[in-house]
Amino acid sequence: MPKPIALILASDNAFDVNEDLITPMVPFMSKPIIEHITDAIEDSGVEEIYIVTGQQSEKVEYYFGDAYKYIEQDEADKGLVGALKQAQQFIDLKDRAIIVAGAKAPLIMSRSIKKMLKTHQEQKNDVTFLSADFAKEFPYPRIIRDLEGAISTCIQPEKCSEEELEVLEFLSTYFVFDGNSLDKELDRMSATSGNDTYDFCGMLHQFKKQSKTINVLKVACWYELVSITSYNEHQIAQRLWYDASRAKVYEE
């Protein structure tokens, strides 16, 4: 069976306080946000890594050189599904695990990625993703569970009821897909319209709608899943990094 591969989605917009940089290339603790993610994925044992680029692709490729492979996302085919469809054209997704990671959450630990991948493969899931019970509010999609604790749905915060907004189990940007299931789902989406703007929450809906096997792995340290999309979140992530370092959270 082919080894797992990773797709890191770096086709983001410019950072809110520095239009010269896309968010993945914003410095965080002495190196770009995206490099924390590539390091964690490599340290988890994944050898084949692709970076999906869009705006400022030349800056990403210049920084990393030939360390990774690159797939440039078509401007007309935006969103998560657009990025995955672009990757599908260049990579054989079948018969392998596909890690898909956003390029905004630099506090992730390699052991969490390793555990997510191991759980996915052992349970033979169609999709496995990370979540956490956060200690504070962030504008992230909520994981809604039924009375038995199974995943019921995923809801964007702007669509949540007051009761749903009180849920602090948030969706992350770290997923692993069964390559065969992902390949078939992308083909199905290509045959219909209006899918290209789906985010991770939308993809989760589609897999659930198709009765796919979905599993969520909660990480104990919610810091790991904090995404940086603004200057304010950058400052929060820095403070969390210092707190985690003092508590030796990142020591294996």
CA–CA distance, 54 with 67 (Å, rounded to integer) = 18
CA-based nearest residue to 222, from 130, 150, 154: 130
Q: What's the pLDDT tens digit per position in 166-223?
A: 999 998 889 999 999 999 988 887 766 555 556 777 778 888 888 889 999 999 899 9
- Whole-structure pTM over 0.75, yes or no? yes
CA–CA distance, 27 with 21 (Å, rounded to integer) = 10
Q: What's the pLDDT tens digit per position in 135-146?
A: 988 888 899 998
Q: Which domains, and CATH codes, for the chain? A: 5-246 (3.90.550.10)
CA–CA distance, 31 with 113 (Å, rounded to integer) = 20
Q: Give the burial class of 176: count Cβ atoms within 10 A of its Cβ; 0-12 exposed, 13-18 middle, 19 or more buried.
A: buried
Structure-token pair, residue 41: 């994925």
Q: Give the burial class of 131: count Cβ atoms within 10 A of its Cβ; 0-12 exposed, 13-18 middle, 19 or more buried.
A: buried
CA–CA distance, 250 with 172 (Å, rounded to integer) = 19
Burial 199-213 (b: 16+ CB within 10 A, else e): bbbbbbebbbeeebe
Backbone φ/ψ region at 192: left (φ over 0), alpha (ψ -120 to 50), beta: beta
CB atoms under 10 Å from CB of 90, counted, come to 11
Asked whether the CA dihedral 168, 173, 179, 184 is positive or negative, the reply is positive
Q: Are strands 97-102 and 169-178 parallel, antiparallel or unpaired?
A: antiparallel
Q: What's the pLDDT tens digit per position in 26-78?
A: 999 999 999 999 999 999 999 999 999 887 888 899 999 999 999 988 764 56
